[in-house]
Amino acid sequence: MSSSVEAITVLSSDGDEFKITVSAAKLSKPLNWMLEDVCFSDDCDEVPTIEVNSKTLVKVIEYCEKHAPRANSGASDSDAEELKKWDIEFMKMDVKDILFHILMAANYLHMEGLYDLACQTAADLMKGMTVSQIRKIFHIKNDFSSEEQEQLRRQHPGCSFD
Amino acid sequence: MLRTEVEVRDRISDLPDSLLLHILSFLPAKEAVATCLLSKRWRPLWPSLATLDLTRQDFRRLKFFQQFVDKMLKFVDLKSVKKCVLRLSYYEYFRPQKISRWINVMMSNKVEHLELHMMPGKGDFELPSSVFTANNIKVLKLSGATGVLWLISTVTVGTLSHVNLPLLEVLHLKDVKFPDVRSLGMLLSACALLKHLAITDLHGKFNCSLDIGRLNHLVTADVPQFVLPLKVFSNATFLRFHLHHWLLVKVTSDIPTFYNLTHLEFTYYSSDWNTTLKYLHSCPKLEIVVIREFFCSEMLESTTIDVPQCVSSSLKEFHLSGYQGKNGDFDLARFIMKNAMVLRIISIRRAFGSKATWKNRNLKRISTCPISLMNCKLLLG
């Protein structure tokens, strides 16, 4: 790869084109490997596809571009503080719609920071909730028979189904 | 219609086990276990938890907490547990044997991260020796607590006969009691790979100074001033010395050269110019200096002294608090402003209790000092 290339183009699973800077793409291990293997110059026709839908890819790229400067150079405490606030704002998203895709994308793209952040966000949605409230948030269907419920209730006396 | 179907799909349950377990690792153990009631998909997950966050406050009654911990340690697959956090309340009676047994079970496998936190109350807890012979442990955080009326609960280290923590990288000690200074030395000398050390409020008989070598992998240290010899920290890049609450033997030691140090914070009761300059001369790469309570009335003949290398070539930020406007303080600020060639920020905070007119008076005096670079920010407050 020539060092003059500053941004690369990738395709989402929906077939849309997206630009991502090289330094931001380095946050993902698979993308980093791609950078090393594939030719990304302007006259190269081949545009790699990332198996993430457009809506999610926009968010993932937004995250990478924000975090890349810090990951590449290291930063002061005040920057880290600012980045934390940004992460919280970034994760204020529609639960049903996109968090699931972000979780999958972070897993698939081996992005440790985003993976932890998304898992933490999912856990925060569950924290302090009852079992039935969690089911409602994530649309989880209770597929236990009444006998199984009875048995589980005996095994976990501290926990409640309601 | 199609849209509604998509919306109500249970997508989270489609995620792989590893991902669901990672989500559960951010929950207190009690809530992580309760997810087994969600559905058949979730039921078998909890025994493979990698994090056990066991907190007394999460349970209404002590009995429930104890039963829960016993059950967890019995049914969870200890081979998959990497991190254990135990937060206890000492207002209640915990049998020390019980806590020791829990810790021994946790340490019997490949736990890499152990935290033991006591809540304020009375009573001390002596750690079982298994904590100090843990081959796999990378992070160890032990904290006692100070409650109302200064009732202190400490985590106590017994007389150590053997310490083996070959992989330990992070060690935090707060309100920890040692039988003597030798035990503290033994612990630190056994952590050959230690990178991050934080100590607050040590207890015990520290009636002689400690002689241990340099911690070769140390990166950051946040430790009480004058308790350990300086050469222990000479490899660090970040060093913060804070004042110790309890009277200990003050260790006076030669100042070694801190070749990697970029950030230094310390607190003075009273000091002299010689010591300050010696520190600065010993840290050739220093970028940030924070000095608290610099009460110095001795004046400085700045024309006769060598400018330390870090001041002229690397110092970017200089923060002085507890400034009283005495001759020594003023000279220090002036010396830095005159000689620091790459300085970006100099901040000077007035001493606690000094009058409001202070700012105006000192602003005038400080702002007449020559600043070596035009793009240096001067903050007074």
Whose tokens are 């049914």? That residue is B75
The pLDDT of residue B3: 46
Q: How far apart (Å, rounded) are the C-alpha atoms in residues B291 and B293?
A: 7
- Tell me the range of A70-74, B17-21, B240-244 where mean pLDDT is highest: B17-21
In whole angstroms, give the CA distance from residue B36 to residue B30: 11
**DSSP assignment, residue A127?**
T
Contact flag A140-B39 (C-beta cutoff 8 Å): yes
Average pLDDT of the segment spanning A139-162: 81
The helix (run of H) or strand (run of E) holding residue B345 is strand B345-350
A127 touches chain B (CB under 8 A): yes
User: Mean pLDDT, to the nearest integer, of B117-130?
Assistant: 78
**Mean per-residue pLDDT of chain A:** 82
Q: How confident is the model at residue B282 (pLDDT cuts 50, 70, 90)?
A: very high
pLDDT in tens, B309-323: 998 899 999 998 877
Question: Residue A39 domain-assigned?
Answer: yes
| Cβ separation A142–B38 shorter than 8 A | yes
As to burial, measured by CB atoms within 10 angstroms (0-12 exposed, 13-18 middle, 19+ buried), residue B330 is buried
Number of domains in chain A: 1
- CA pair distance A47, B59, nearest whole angstrom: 55
In a domain, A93, yes or no: yes
Q: A40 in a domain, yes or no?
A: yes
User: Considering chain B, what percentage of its residues have pLDDT values greater than 90?
Assistant: 38
Distance separating alpha carbons of residues B204 and A92, to the nearest angstrom: 48
DSSP string, B285-326: T--EEEEE---------GGGSPPPHHHHHT--EEEEEEE---
Quick check: is A45 in a domain? yes
Dihedral of alpha carbons B172, B174, B179, B185, sign: positive
Q: Where are the alpha helices (DSSP H) in B147-272?
A: 181-189
More confident residue, B334 or B215: B215
pLDDT for the residue numbered B169: 96
* Short-list B209, B255, B210, CA closest to B230: B255
3-class DSSP assignment, residue B355: coil
Residue A151 in domain: no
pLDDT of residue B51: 95
pLDDT interval class at A158 (50, 70, 90): low
Chain A residue numbers touching B22 (CB-CB < 8 A): 115-116, 119
Tell me the chain A residues in contact with residue B13 when contact means C-beta distances shorter than 8 Å: 138, 140
User: Quick check: B353 contacting A, CB < 8 Å?
Assistant: no
Return the residue of B nearest to A159 by Cα: B34
What confidence category does residue A10 fall into, taking pLDDT thresholds of 50, 70 and 90?
confident
- The 8-class DSSP code of residue B222 comes to E
Q: Establish if A161 belongs to a structural domain.
A: no
Question: Residue range B114-127: average pLDDT?
Answer: 79
Given pLDDT bands bounded at 50, 70 and 90, which one contains residue A36? Answer: confident
CATH of the domain at A108: 3.30.710.10
Q: Would you say residue A103 has pLDDT above 70?
A: yes
The dihedral formed by the CA atoms of A35, A41, A45 and A49, expressed in degrees to the nearest 10: 30
Could you tell me if B349 and B321 are in contact, meaning their C-beta atoms sit under 8 angstroms apart? yes
Contact between chains at A138 and B27 (C-beta distance less than 8 A)? no
Range of the domain at A34: 7-127
Question: Are residues B251 and B209 in contact, defined by beta-carbon separation less than 8 angstroms?
Answer: yes
B81 φ/ψ sector (left φ>0, alpha ψ -120 to 50, else beta): beta
pLDDT for B278 beyond 60: yes
The CA dihedral of A33, A38, A42, A43, to the nearest 10 degrees, is 180
pLDDT at B234: 92
Query: Looking at the DSSP assignment, which residues form a beta bridge with residue A119?
Result: none
pLDDT bin (cut points 50, 70, 90) of residue B242 is confident
Calculate ∠ Cα B220-B223-B227, nearest 5°: 130
Tokens 């995250």 — which residue?
A63
- Interstrand relation of B51-55 and A17-21 (parallel, antiparallel or unpaired): unpaired
Percent of chain B beyond pLDDT 70? 82
B75 reaches A (C-beta below 8 A): no
Between B5 and B325, the higher pLDDT residue: B325
The pairing of beta strand B377-380 with beta strand B345-350 = parallel
Q: Is residue A15 less than 8 Å (CB to CB) from chain B? A: no
Cβ–Cβ < 8 Å for B65, B57: no
Tokens of B123: 């009573």
B189 vs B3 pLDDT, higher one:
B189
pLDDT tier at B297 (50, 70, 90 boundaries)? low
Give the Cα separation of A51 and B163 in Å (integer).
50
> In the structure, what pLDDT confidence band is assigned to residue B4 with cuts at 50, 70 and 90?
very low
Q: What band does B5 get if pLDDT is binned at 50, 70 and 90? A: very low
**Domain for residue A159, yes or no?**
no
Q: What is the dihedral of CA B252, B254, B255, B260, to 10 degrees?
A: -110
pLDDT tens digits, one per residue of B91-107: 677 778 888 999 999 98
For B198, B271, B305, B367, the CA distances from B298, given in Å and listed in that order, are 33, 9, 15, 21
Residue B35 to residue A134, Cβ atoms within 8 A: yes
Supply the pTM of this predicted model.
0.85
pLDDT in tens, B198-223: 998 888 877 777 778 899 999 999 99
Listing DSSP states for A10-49 in one string gives EE-TTS-EEEEEHHHHTTSHHHHHHHHHS--STT-----B
Nearest-CA distance B80 → chain A (Å)? 18
How confident is the prediction for chain B on average, in pLDDT? 83
